[in-house]
Amino acid sequence: MSRHVFYILLSLAERDRHGSAIMRDVLALTDNQLKLWPVKLYGTLDELSHEGWIRALPTAPPEEIDAEGGHKKWFRITAAGRRALAREVAAMEGVVRTAQRRLVHTGESS
Amino acid sequence: MNGVMLRGYRALIRCQPAMVRREYGAEMEELFIDQWTAARRRGRLPAFACWVRAMGDAARQIPREHWLVAGRYSREDSMHTLLSDLRFAIRSFSRQRGATLLVVLTLTLAVAANTGVFMLLDGLFLRPVPFRAPASLVYLNERAPKLNLEFTGINYPDFVAWRDHTHSFAAMGLFGVEDFTVADGASAERIHGAIVTWDVPAALGITPVLGRSFTQDDDRPKAAPVVMLGYGYWHSHFNGARDIIGRALRIGGTPYTIVGVLPTTAEFPGDVKLWTPLGGDPLQQYESYQMDGVARLKPGVTMRQAEADLLAAQEPIWRARDTAHVVSPRVMPLSEWVARDYSTAGQVLGLGVLVVLLTACANVGGALLARASFRKREMAIRTALGASARRIVRQMLTEALVLATVAGVLGTGLGWWGVRLLVLSFGDQVPGWVHLQFNLRLALFGGLIVAVITLLFGLIPAFEMRRESMRDAIGTGSQRSSTSRGERRTLDILVVAEIALAAILLVAGGLLARAYGNLRHVDPGFRINGVTEFSTALPASIYMDGVKERRLFETIVDRLAAIPGVTSAGAVSCAPLGCHWGKLYVAEGSVLKPGGENPIVLTRIASPDYFRTMGIRFVQGRAYVPGEERQLGALFPLVVNEEFARLHWPGAGSVIGRRVAYNGSAMNTWMTVIGVVKDARHYGLSEPMRPGVYLPMSILDSTASRQQFSFTVHSVGDPAALFPAIRAALRSLDPELPIIQLRTMQNALDASLAGRRTMMIVLASFAAIALVLATSGVYAVLSYVVGRRRREIGIRMALGAQRREVVRMVVVQGARLVGIGLVIGLPVALLSSRILGSLLVGVTSGDVVTYVAAMLVLGVTGLVAALAPARRAASVNPTTVLTEGS
């Protein structure tokens, strides 16, 4: 799973968002490290919708209709998307555990 | 500025797949504008950086999206579809075997002509100089406008002045081609070599593959003789042995130490097998303009700056020695010099093949239109059955790809083969640096042609059909007949264009053929039939003495004359067709002013019997008799040609007894004219003759010439039968005497015409291709018209029209097309054949015979092409046609 996909799913796992909100959230999540530029962002969203991991909502959530994001396309993570994200996180956990064990055993004492 | 940047971004994101764009395009743009506006608040630079990154993002992502979108449509069955498309294409071709064959033939011929010419141009012009950074390599020489000489060759002291006093050149060297006799005691071999100054390898950027390059010490007068071997020679004569460095090679009787082996690229200039240092003397007293120069420009130096630099360096020479400014340095790109003899040929070939290509395009375009209109029904049905537009375009492209690939492979092969044949017919006229090979560039070029044909052939009908179906949807009422009228007009224009283009090529080919025919009937001024010639060269160490040298030559002549069947034999220092040795003369009572123009004179030393052997006719006086010049108190005799007499004593009757001397020599060395000979075509049948003189053999007594000398033999019967006897005669005198270019005069003459012959053959084949294309175009368009008008013809016949009238109607249509094509084509041919320029000898570009012949050929073949469709039209059965449902 690419970094873009992972963070988009992670962002949508918290709540439904529209494109520019996802961009801002990912920027915050990665401490300004990952900036999703427009074409990449929407291209990935399009890919993920075809994959069935997210879906575009027919309308904006009622509380947002009149707000700034009212005319935008909102996205929601699907059950399949949550499962994919969970698998990825589990795999990461495995890597993190292994890495920590190795760091303990092979590190030179300073 | 901001507007331009925004528009650029918009244009880029518009390249996304339509689905993505429709869905998210507006939001993408909005998001971009948000970020960009924020960045602009921070300053102009951050704004620009933001724009650049957004553009980069789009450029990276868009191809991926296209790939994914395409995958969504064809993932399930892309391979299957391709196979079925292929199968369908092949089936549909085999159903229309004749038409398909015609299209493939057309394309094959066009591809063949193009790859062939590409190969030639590639070999001749694109890569003639196989050295590092060839663009900065220049050729140096000197010119002498007063002597009517474009190239005089370089005098060694001039070169030294240039080398020492110019600043534009990174390195500069002199080279000259010379033949060397390499002997091993039992036999001698004559090989092509070069003498070079020590800095030539540096200028060309060559490093030896083995051993070392020449040093400055190798290149001093009287230095120990050294040699570098060519890569090919090293392999053929030493098996590529690595221990040859330091061994000796006996050249002209002197042992030369082998110091290095040149890389394969260094067979420069031409096909040379070894290099030796020039060993020039900067203080040499005599003038010897005979070397060529090569130099590498420093980075950033232009040709003009280099020339100015050379002229400045020449200044002291003009002040000290050449006060009349006779010679001055010149410089040109090395590649231009290498291909100089081929620039007219290259232009003619390039333009000729362009015309072939255009003809083929017109032809294929016609075939395409006709085919598309016949397939409209098929496509309509397939669309009705649910085939998507995408699917139909794919089908068309697959078909085109099959056709183009077949034509591409056949055509590339045919072109390659044709050029090989051509090169064989060139014989030894092909310069050694031309390597015509089937290489990657040729393969790429073939691939490119296939791609272009596929797109043209596949996409145009597809678009045509799309437009067609849109018009159907709009529902214009009478579109059917109007389209076919439009198509008719397009087809007519295409055929007229083909005829006109074919006319141009026919005229050009015809003019060249006429010129060649004329040349073959030019009187060369010397005997061709029954004459054999060859040359030899003397190892200097053995025959250092001029008298000995002359005696040997006279003995050779005597031995040759004694061979049974030989009627006479002669010796000459410079035989016709391929030799020049020029000197300057002054003549008593000449009309030329001292210090003014004084053309260079072709100077030959000839034995008394040479004139009789070569059948050279005397218009005044006689040939010298053996030994006449050595008699006490005798005048030194000299024979001049008509051109020489015309130059110095125009209008004078008899010039016998007038005196001539070398330019600049003391006046006590006058020579006396005892005979005037007819001008002979010494430089080839198409070249004008220079003034020339013949000197008796005893001139050799005072010079150790060390040069090549030629012998001519006249015999009865087949001259080639004499070859073994000639070889034996020389071997019996000295086994180390090389025999160079033993050939009949007829062969020599043929070789001198080979270039013209080749040009004629190439243009004739272009003309033939264009003729085939134009004829098939006429046939195709008339067939199409007859097919379309079957009903109309049937009705006419039902109303009483005679078959003869129907035939006439179709033939007249064909004749009209051919006629218009000729009316357009012939004037264009008249204009364009001017570029043939120097290739036309004895015929003007407006030669009536050629034009009439071209007209007849096109007219007759056009009519023949019209006959088959005409007969088909006449065989229309009115009842069948009228009862056919419509």
Question: Do B113 and B140 reside in the same domain of the chain?
Answer: no
Q: How many CB pairs under 8 A join A and B?
A: 60
With a CB cutoff of 8 Å and minimum separation 6, the contacts of A52 are A78, A80, A81
More confident residue, B787 or B744: B744
Question: Do B19 and B98 reside in the same domain of the chain?
Answer: no
Q: How many CA atoms lie within 13 A of B558 on its CB side?
A: 9
Residue B282 has pLDDT above 90, yes or no: no
- Per mean pLDDT, which of A25-39, B101-115, B733-747 is the most reliable? A25-39
Mean pLDDT of B835-863: 86
Question: Do B609 and B725 reside in the same domain of the chain?
Answer: yes
Lowest mean pLDDT among B451-465, B624-638, B728-742: B451-465
Mean pLDDT of B357-371: 74
Selecting from A18, A39, A50 the residue whose C-beta is nearest the C-beta of B28 gives A39
How many Å separate Cα B612 from the centre of its chain? 39
Nearest CA-CA distance, residue A64 and chain B, Å: 17
Domain count of the fold of chain B: 5
Question: Using one digit for the tens of pLDDT, what is the confidence trace for B290-339?
Answer: 888 999 999 988 989 999 999 888 888 888 877 777 788 999 888 777 77
Residue B763 has pLDDT above 90, yes or no: no
Number of H helices, E strands in chain B: 23, 22
Residue B823 has pLDDT above 90, yes or no: yes
Instruction: Please state, rounded to an integer, the average pLDDT across all residues of chain B.
Output: 81
Report pLDDT for B886.
45
Task: Report whether B706 contacts B499 (CB < 8 A).
Answer: no
Whether the CB of B558 is below 8 Å from some CB of chain A: the reply is no
What is the band of B851 on the pLDDT scale with cuts at 50, 70, 90? very high
Lowest mean pLDDT among B493-497, B579-583, B689-693: B579-583
More confident residue, B57 or B392: B57
Would residue B65 count as lying in a domain? yes
Whether the CB of A72 is below 8 Å from some CB of chain B: the reply is yes
Question: Do B170 and B315 reside in the same domain of the chain?
Answer: yes
Question: Do B685 and B562 reside in the same domain of the chain?
Answer: yes
Residue B475 has pLDDT above 50, yes or no: no
Q: Which of A37, A71, A74 to mutate to test the interface with B (most CBs of B within 10 A)?
A: A37
User: Roughly how many angstroms between the first and final C-alpha of chain B, as a whole number?
Assistant: 62
CA distances B699 to A96, B176, B540, Å, are: 101, 25, 17
Whether the CB of A46 is below 8 Å from some CB of chain B: the reply is yes
Question: Do B516 and B609 reside in the same domain of the chain?
Answer: no
Q: How many CA atoms lie within 13 A of B450 on its CB side?
A: 20
Q: At CA B152, angle to CA B151 and CA B154, rounded to 5? A: 110
Angle between helices B848-874 and B745-788 (to 10 degrees): 30
Report pLDDT for B500.
93
What is the band of A6 on the pLDDT scale with cuts at 50, 70, 90? very high
Question: Using one digit for the tens of pLDDT, what is the confidence trace for B24-45?
Answer: 888 888 889 988 999 999 988 8
β-strand pairing of B137-143 with B328-333? antiparallel
Question: Do B388 and B481 reside in the same domain of the chain?
Answer: no
Mean pLDDT of B612-616: 92
Nearest CA-CA distance, residue A41 and chain B, Å: 9
Question: Do B470 and B481 reside in the same domain of the chain?
Answer: no
Report pLDDT for B114.
80
Residue B481 has pLDDT above 50, yes or no: no
Report pLDDT for B460.
65
More confident residue, B860 or B126: B860
Chain B residues in contact with A22 (beta carbon < 8 A)? none
Nearest CA-CA distance, residue A37 and chain B, Å: 6
Selecting from A23, A38, A73 the residue whose C-beta is nearest the C-beta of B54 gives A38
Residue B220 has pLDDT above 90, yes or no: no
Nearest CA-CA distance, residue B438 and chain A, Å: 45
User: 3-state secondary structure string, B202-264?
Assistant: HHHCCCCCEECCCCCCCCCCCCCCEEEECHHHHHHHHCCCHHHCCCEEEECCEEEEEEEECCH
Tell me if A73 and B27 make a contact (CB, 8 A cut-off).
Answer: yes
Report pLDDT for B482.
42
Mean pLDDT of B684-688: 81
With a CB cutoff of 8 Å and minimum separation 6, the contacts of B353 are B113, B114, B116, B117, B766
Q: Which amino acid is at B827?
A: P
Would residue B749 count as lying in a domain? no
Question: Do B707 and B758 reside in the same domain of the chain?
Answer: no
Range of the domain at B170: 134-338
Question: Using one digit for the tens of pLDDT, what is the confidence trace for B62-113?
Answer: 888 877 776 665 544 555 566 677 777 777 777 667 777 877 887 888 788 8
Task: Report whether B351 contacts B766 (CB < 8 A).
Answer: no
Mean pLDDT of B181-193: 75
Chain A residues in contact with B62 (beta carbon < 8 A)? 39
What is the band of A26 on the pLDDT scale with cuts at 50, 70, 90? very high
Report pLDDT for B126.
62
What count of other Cβ atoms lies within 10 Å of the Cβ of residue B487? 18
Tell me if A38 and B20 make a contact (CB, 8 A cut-off).
Answer: no
Domain count of the fold of chain A: 1
Task: Report whether B698 contacts B629 (CB < 8 A).
Answer: yes
Nearest CA-CA distance, residue B128 and chain A, Å: 49
Mean pLDDT of A92-110: 78
Would residue B346 count as lying in a domain? no
Task: Report whether B526 contacts B851 (CB < 8 A).
Answer: no
Question: Do B109 and B162 reside in the same domain of the chain?
Answer: no
Which own/partner contact pairs does A78-86 have at CB distance under 8 Å and 24+ positions apart? A78/A52, A78/A53, A78/A54, A80/A52, A80/A53, A81/A9, A81/A12, A81/A48, A81/A52, A81/A53, A81/A54, A82/A13, A84/A1, A84/A9, A84/A53, A85/A6, A85/A9, A85/A10, A85/A13
Task: Report whether B814 contacts B863 (CB < 8 A).
Answer: yes
CATH number where A28 lies: 1.10.10.10
Residue B479 has pLDDT above 60, yes or no: no
For residue B758, which of B334, B331, B426, B303 has the smallest C-alpha distance? B426
More confident residue, B661 or B542: B661
More confident residue, A96 or B877: A96
Whether the CB of A105 is below 8 Å from some CB of chain B: the reply is no
E-strand spans in B538-584? 566-572, 582-583
Tell me if A23 and B31 make a contact (CB, 8 A cut-off).
Answer: yes
Q: Is B496 helix (H, G, I), strand (E, B) or coil?
A: helix
Tell me if B24 and A23 make a contact (CB, 8 A cut-off).
Answer: no
Mean pLDDT of B738-761: 82
Report pLDDT for B798.
84
Tell me if A50 and B72 make a contact (CB, 8 A cut-off).
Answer: yes
Tell me if A42 and B28 make a contact (CB, 8 A cut-off).
Answer: yes
The last residue of one of the domains, among B736, B765, B790, is B736
Report pLDDT for A25.
94
User: Roughly how many angstroms between the first and final C-alpha of chain A, as a whole number?
Assistant: 36
Task: Say which residue the tokens 């070599």 belong to.
Answer: B193
Would residue B221 count as lying in a domain? yes
Report pLDDT for B607.
92
Q: Is B584 helix (H, G, I), strand (E, B) or coil?
A: coil
More confident residue, B439 or B751: B751
What is the band of B684 on the pLDDT scale with cuts at 50, 70, 90? confident
Would residue B354 count as lying in a domain? no
Residue A86 has pLDDT above 80, yes or no: yes
Question: Do B580 and B651 reside in the same domain of the chain?
Answer: yes
Cα B549 to Cα B530: distance, rounded to the nearest angstrom: 28
Would residue B308 count as lying in a domain? yes
Report pLDDT for B595.
65
Residue A101 has pLDDT above 90, yes or no: no
Tell me if A46 and B24 make a contact (CB, 8 A cut-off).
Answer: yes
What is the band of B854 on the pLDDT scale with cuts at 50, 70, 90? very high
Question: Do B500 and B549 reside in the same domain of the chain?
Answer: no
Cα B276 to Cα A26: distance, rounded to the nearest angstrom: 74
Tell me if B68 and A47 make a contact (CB, 8 A cut-off).
Answer: yes
Whether the CB of A45 is below 8 Å from some CB of chain B: the reply is yes
Would residue B353 count as lying in a domain? no
Residue A94 has pLDDT above 50, yes or no: yes
Looking at chain B, the whole-number percentage of residues with pLDDT higher than 90 is 14
Range of the domain at A72: 3-106
Q: Is B688 helix (H, G, I), strand (E, B) or coil?
A: coil
The last residue of one of the domains, among B38, B56, B76, is B76
Tell me if B31 and A73 make a contact (CB, 8 A cut-off).
Answer: no
Cα B384 to Cα B231: distance, rounded to the nearest angstrom: 69
What is the band of B476 on the pLDDT scale with cuts at 50, 70, 90? very low
